[in-house]
Amino acid sequence: MMDQIAQLREKMNTILIEDKATLERFRQDFIGKKGSIAALFETFKQLPIAAKKTIGPLLNGLKNEAEKKFKSAASILEAVAPAIQQPVDVTLPAFGPAIGSLHPLTIVQNKISSIFQRIGFNLAEGPEIVGNWHNFGALNFPENHPARDLQDTFFLQLNPVQLLRTHTTSVQISTCTDQSPPIRSIAVGRVFRNEAISARSHCFFHQVDGMYIDTAVTFSDLKGTIYHFVEAMFGRATKLRFRASYFPFTEPSAEVDIHCRLCQGKGCTVCKQSGWVEILGAGMIDPNVLTNCQIDPEQYSGFAFGMGIERIAMLLYQIDDLRLFSENHLDFLRQFKGCLGFSDGAVFAK
């Protein structure tokens, strides 16, 4: 009897249940009242008590295995039944691949660099990890300036004279050292600051930094360039103002505000009821910076400006939380589908 059980198990295991007909045949052959297992149970009844004790568990085991196989095959066939009933029409057009969209920061970055490239600025590049000299020293930051502090800047643990650049102004130094005037360039990229993450600040964000160095460059050239940028970016009617400010690397320095786009200058939470929002810092390049890059300040002068790309994007698209740019919510990102940011030369703002 043990041999019969083993043979039946082997036979059962070789059966592949692929359709309902095979399933029904399996049920009749193995589980049904007239099936082979039921027949074995009939023979079992005739056995002496001692034999029953050893054969009983084996026979029950076989019966359980058969029922398990039947049930799992039945549920699989049930699940795939609709697909089998409705075969795929292979002549239907295929689903296209899902196409993503550009990140809003890439779109705004494209817009900004496109505006400046059209008026003769070249794209300059620089590394995200720089030395103290490129980020601070050459840019005329005094030794005790708070920005040089661990609280504000990420220094590399292995090599504390290296740091994550806190502004793209560091690219000015490598560009000025590598090239000689006239230089007209913009640098775009990520910058890092040791700040708590909130709706208004982040430990990394993006900046565009620009400069123009030539003989007899004046503050009027800076103003003309910034007026052009604001008009192309935000529209012709946008009001702007220059405010006196301070940066170690420019003298004189200014900050530029535009009329708040959310409240049309009437005052709201975004502009802190002032009607104005700051969009960039700028100024005439400090002669010390030129000297640090082996450019003679007697012969050459220049202007520079820098802005946060997130800030511009927030104003342009009325986004009120900086964290949205780095959290990758698809609902947020999908809103920018189809935008590229480049333009054929017309004013961008709409």
Which residues of this protein are in contact with ligand DAH, per CB under 6 A? Answer: 167, 169, 209, 247, 250, 281-283, 304-306
Comparing CB distances to ligand DAH, the nearer of 209 and 310 is 209
Residue whose CB is nearest to ligand DAH in the complex, by number: 306
Comparing CB distances to ligand DAH, the nearer of 205 and 348 is 205
Q: Is 204 helix (H, G, I), strand (E, B) or coil?
A: strand
C-alpha distance from residue 257 to each of 52, 223, 274, 315 (Å): 96, 13, 11, 12
Q: How far is the CB of 89 from ligand DAH (least distance, A)?
A: 59
Comparing CB distances to ligand DAH, the nearer of 167 and 259 is 167
Cα 322-101-238 angle, rounded to 5 deg? 55
Q: How far is the CB of 231 from ligand DAH (least distance, A)?
A: 20
Q: How far is the CB of 282 from ligand DAH (least distance, A)?
A: 5
C-alpha distance from residue 332 to each of 14, 38, 276 (Å): 54, 64, 27
Q: How far is the CB of 170 from ligand DAH (least distance, A)?
A: 9
Q: Which token pair is 147?
A: 């920005």
Helix axes 49-85, 2-14, angle to 10 degrees: 10
Comparing CB distances to ligand DAH, the nearer of 282 and 324 is 282
Q: How far is the CB of 287 from ligand DAH (least distance, A)?
A: 14
Comparing CB distances to ligand DAH, the nearer of 36 and 250 is 250
Longest dimension (CA), the chain: 118
Nearest Cα residue to 233 out of 94, 349, 88, 86: 349
The string of DSSP letters for 295-307 reads --TTT-EEEEEEE
Q: Which token pair is 130?
A: 């720089």
Comparing CB distances to ligand DAH, the nearer of 59 and 284 is 284
Q: How far is the CB of 139 from ligand DAH (least distance, A)?
A: 8
